Amino acid sequence: MLEKFELKETAFPLTPHLSNEVAWYGFPELKKKIKNTIARSLTETSRVCTLNRGQWGVGKTHAASFFSNKLNLPDFEDKYSKVYSYIIESPKETNKAFIDFFNRVVNAVTFNEIKQCVSLCRQLAGDKVLEENILQMTKNEDVAHVLSRINDDNLLMSKTYLNGGGTATDLKKLGVAKKLITTHEFAVVLSGIFYVLINSGTSKNKPFNRLILWIDEMEDLVYFPTRHYRPFTQALRDVIDKTTDHFTLFLNFTFTEPEDLASIETVLGEAIMSRINQHIIFGQSQENDVQLYLKELLADNRTGKGPYPSPETYPFGRDTFNMVVKACVSHTPRYINKFCDKLLRQIVDDPDIVGKNKPIVTSELVEKYIARTIEDMDE
C-alpha cells in the first residue's frame, strides 16, 4: 500500500530490526553520546559500564542493533585485533534466570567461536599458561581445565559439560569431577568464556579484543520475585568484577520516568549500580528531532527514482509535514513510525489519491484522517 507513495512497505517498522541493515535516522545528539562512549572504550583498557534508560519505544534496542554492526563502530584497529559485540535479551525464566542468560550469551557467541579463541590463546600464551590464567580468574580447576583444552576432538563433550550436562564417562574423559549445577558455577564459566574472547588477539602487538555486551529489556526483572532476580544480579556482578579490562557493558532499562534511579537500583542492586560509570538518557528530544528523523527516514525508504514534488518531505507537502510532526505527541521513533504508517494506510484509499501518480498528502487529507489515526494509536 505504501508503494503508492513510492515508499517501502517496511518504511515505518514498529519493532526494531535485528540485522546488519539497521539504519540510524535523526537524533544526532543521542547517536553522538553512544558513539563517544564506545569510542572511549576502544581507546582505554579499563571496563566501561553504561546504563541506557528511557521510555518504551525510544530506540534502546535499535541503538544496540545499530552499534553492534562493526561498520558503525569507531575505529579500533590501533588498539584491538577485533571487537566482539553481542545483544542479549534479559532472562525470561524466573527460577533459572542466570542459566537462561548464560544460554543466551553462549548461543550468541557459539562454541565454534570459543574453540577458535582458545586456539589463538594457546598460540599466544601456551597451554599451561592459558590454563593457569583461567584458573587464577575463575578459581575453578575443572572449568579452567576444560575451557583451556577445547579443540575439534573434544568439542561436543566440552560443550555438553560447560552447558551443565555430561555422562559419567564423558566427565571422566574430560578429567572433571562433577557436572556444573549452581548459578555461581555458570557465572564462572561465562567469565572464562569472556576471558578467551578478550585474550585471543591475533598478534603479540595486539593481543586483546574488545568485548561489547548489550543486555536488553532489563526492566523484565521487575516481574521476578526477589528470590529469583537477586541471584541473577549477584551472578552478573561476579562476571563484571572478573572482567575488569577490555569490556564494555550496556544495560538497557525501560521505565515510565527514566530519571527514577531509585526504582532501577531496587532491581539492579547497589552492587551493579556502583559499577556503572556512564548514564545515557533516551528521549530528551524536541520537534526538530522529529523533523530530522522523518526526513532521513523518508529519504532512505523511497522506492522510486524521483524527482519528487517536495524532495525532503514527500509524500507530505511541506505544510502537511509540519502538521504530522506536531501530531506526534510522543517523540519516540516507535510512536512516529506507528502514527505515520496508520495515517498513510488510511489516506491511500481516499478518492483524492486513487489514480494519481506520485500523489501529495495535503493538509486537507491529514485533517480528514488525523482524528481517526490518533484514536487508532490507543488500540
List strands edge to edge, sheet with 247-254.
Answer: 83-89, 210-216, 247-254, 48-54, 278-281
Q: Is the pTM of this model over 0.95?
A: no
- 176-188 in b/e form (b: 16+ CB < 10 A) is beebbeebebbbb
User: What type of residue is 106?
Assistant: V
Phi and psi angles of residue 88, each rounded to the nearest 5 degrees, phi first:
-125, 130
Report whether the peptide linkage leading into residue 351 is cis, meaning its omega lies within 30 degrees of zero. Answer: no
| pLDDT tens track for 112-132 | 999 999 999 999 889 999 999
Angle between helices 287-300 and 333-347 (to 10 degrees): 60
Q: SS3 for 288?
A: helix
SS3 content of the chain, % helix, strand, coil (to 5): 55, 10, 35
pLDDT bucket at 269, cuts 50 / 70 / 90: confident
Q: Please compute the mean of the pLDDT values over residues 341-370 and round it to a whole number.
A: 89
Contact 52, 8 (CB under 8 A): no
Residue 17 clears pLDDT 70, i.e. is over it: no
Cβ neighbours of 127 (radius 10 Å): 12
CA distance 62 to 56: 12
User: What type of residue is 317?
Assistant: G
Residue 52 clears pLDDT 90, i.e. is over it: yes
Least confident of 44-48, 258-262, 346-350: 258-262
Residues 333-336: contacts with CB within 8 Å, 24+ apart? Answer: 333/25, 333/27, 333/57, 333/58, 333/59, 333/62, 333/293, 334/14, 334/56, 334/57, 334/58, 334/59, 335/57, 335/377, 336/12, 336/290, 336/293, 336/294
pLDDT at 259: 58
pLDDT bucket at 18, cuts 50 / 70 / 90: low
pLDDT at 347: 93
Of the chain, the percentage scoring pLDDT greater than 90 comes to 65
Residue 292 clears pLDDT 80, i.e. is over it: yes
CA distance 209 to 55: 33
Phi-psi region of 269 (alpha: psi -120 to 50; beta: other; left: phi over 0): left
Contact 252, 216 (CB under 8 A): yes
Least confident of 157-161, 238-242, 311-315: 311-315
| pLDDT tens track for 318-345 | 889 999 999 998 888 999 999 999 999 9
| pLDDT tens track for 167-206 | 999 999 999 999 999 999 999 999 999 999 999 998 888 9
Q: Please compute the mean of the pLDDT values over residues 228-245 and round it to a whole number.
A: 92
